[in-house]
Structure 1
Amino acid sequence: MSRFEATICEAIASMRLLLVEYGDTARLVQPHVYGDDHAGDRLLSAYQVSGESASGASAGWKFFRMDRVTSVTLSEQRFRAPRPEFQRNDGAFARIICQLGD
């Protein structure tokens, strides 16, 4: 189990934003799906609402590889509903640990 798993799954279950330290940047995200991709990497699929990004896009859908995450902090801020583009049981994941709507 990842050291961040309980925090991430709690955020997903309670629809609370996460502050994710990824590389050298902090990002505020709406977490949607957490699990393993087909290559065996642990991923968080989230919609980034603010912060920096290597791509230059500060908002939008992102996959965060958990081996590059240095910290995860549960925010008091909530989001009301999944993003309209969200699809349960995303095919990018070989194994889903937790996702919105569970």
Structure 2
Amino acid sequence: MRWDVLIRDAIRDRRVLEIWYDGTGPRLIEPHRYGVSTAGSLVLRAWQQSNARKPLDRPAFRLFDVGKVAQAVETQKTFPGPRQGYGPTDETMQRIYAQL
């Protein structure tokens, strides 16, 4: 659980994270929910703002496998709260450790 405290704190404080994921450049994400997937992997449901420091044409929710995160940094940026479309449940998760 290499990123456990960082992810939990970012969700609690509504801080944007910059992550290097699955061999790609940095992504800016707003973490919303962190837990264990139905397949047993640690996962993070987050709103992805950008990829490799460029705004996305279509920001959207993504499910990130925490085991594929090579680096993660909490930024000084915050976000106001849950994005539209975020619901109280997530069928991809069997256990939730932290959520908005």
TM-score over 0.5 (shorter chain): yes
**5 Å matches for 1:57-76?**
59-76=59-76
Unaligned runs of 5+ in 1: none
Contact 1:32 1:46 survives alignment (8 Å): yes
Runs (4 or more) in structure 1 with deviation over 6 Å come to none
Structure 2-normalised TM-score?
A: 0.88
Greater share of strand? 2
- The number of aligned residues is 96
Distance 2:62 2:29 in 1: 9
Shift of 1:91: 2.1
TM-score, normalisation: structure 1: 0.87
Deviation per CA, 1:18-60: give whole Å up to 9, x if none.
00110222100000000001110110000000115xxx97621
The answer for unaligned runs of 5 or more in structure 2 is: none
RMSD: 1.6
Query: % of aligned pairs identical?
Result: 31
